[in-house]
Structure 1
Amino acid sequence: MRVTKITIAALAVAAGLSLTACQSDGDATSRSDSSAAPASPSAHGGPGSDGSARGAAKASAGKDSGAGQSTGAGTGSDKDGKTGKTGKTGKCRTDELEVTAADHTIDGDPGGTVVVEFTNGGGRDCALSGYAGVDLRTSAGSLSARRTGEPASRTVLKDGESVAFGITYPVNDSGGSGVRVTGLVVTPPDETKSVSLAWPGAATLPVTDGSGSPVKAGPIGSAGQGG
């Protein structure tokens, strides 16, 4: 009987050990399956997570960036609009002009006439308007011409084209030596740089009483009409 009881007890112990081993295997399998299962969406930035908020912010920033690029293109267009492309022709500069003077006095006229011509040599269209500055160098000092007061229109010169204006002055028929003219200084309209030329008109001017300059200059385009 003792042997039988020992055998039964041994079997019971073995059965208990086997059951414990099975439970341990089941727990291990459960833990292994749990570790192999995919992480929850919130662990990878899924909906409702901080990662999702960051992703949405980045997407929103990307959209905003695209809108900024669109606005930038518009700004570039505005800049192009501000580059001076207005279709207006710039004024003629002194260095772009060839300036010449010639005597145009006609027999029978009460006074003398000199015509000053501007020729555009700047390689571009340019405009002249108004009155040029005119000064005569004389033995008595510099003598500035007065404006005739005629209306002045704007003239656009293509490269190679010319425009002229007239200078009128009194002829010295007093029999005296008068005032000797030694040169002519011309300043194009709206410019400060002048051009010095030889005086092509009469050698002398009559002596004046100091009441004003006897020399007059017409506007651009008035060649032979100053008076």
Structure 2
Amino acid sequence: MIEISNMCKVYKMGDTEVKALNDVNIKINAKEFVSIVGPSGSGKSTLMNMIGCLDVPTSGSYILDGKEVSQMKDDELAEIRNCKIGFVFQKFNLLQKLSALENVELPLIYQGLNAKEVRKRAIEALESVGLQDRMHHRPNELSGGQQQRVAIARALVTKPPVILADEPTGALDSKTGLEVMDILRDLHSTGNTIILITHDNSLAMQAKRMIKIHDGEITEDREVI
């Protein structure tokens, strides 16, 4: 599903060059549940941006679902993001003026589906995360956990091959965070590829495989027992 080879990312800050990623090599198969863990400044956010096609590497290769994406232009990357990757963010990133249902419908509208199909699939996605009774509520009428469920439904609705979850429990209390992790595990059990980005080792251990990154380099890649 994902093959990253010799990936480097260099940022220029005035006359100084900062190497955020240094010769990173990762392979992730379809239907895996993988965590990428590292402290602040380790390069995990940069790596997430590369995996999520939010940015492109300075050098190296990135093949996503059979396509080389490392040299794609912005409009091509946008299309890949909308079709291939479902994003779940720490701060939910929901549009406050839209209902839960309307938020989940947005990615399908961008894909150009007809209104009937958009509504049907958005309802199904919200039902899959247990929010069938709250779909007409706006984000400010939902708890943090419910907002994250909406975000997960939005990530799922296009049926992407990869779900990329960036600190998905970071804005939640511990009980609600566990519920969100249960949802991610359920999604994995039904065949979704899940990539969890976190600074929390205990959270990372809930995946099936853990990749550690430090100073822009992969320092450990192992199965979680």
Specify the TM-score bucket, using the shorter chain as the normaliser: under 0.3
Per the normalisation by structure 2, the TM-score is 0.19
The structure having more radius of gyration, on CA atoms, is: 1
The structure with higher relative contact order (CA 8 Å, sep 6+) is 2
Per the normalisation by structure 1, the TM-score is 0.19
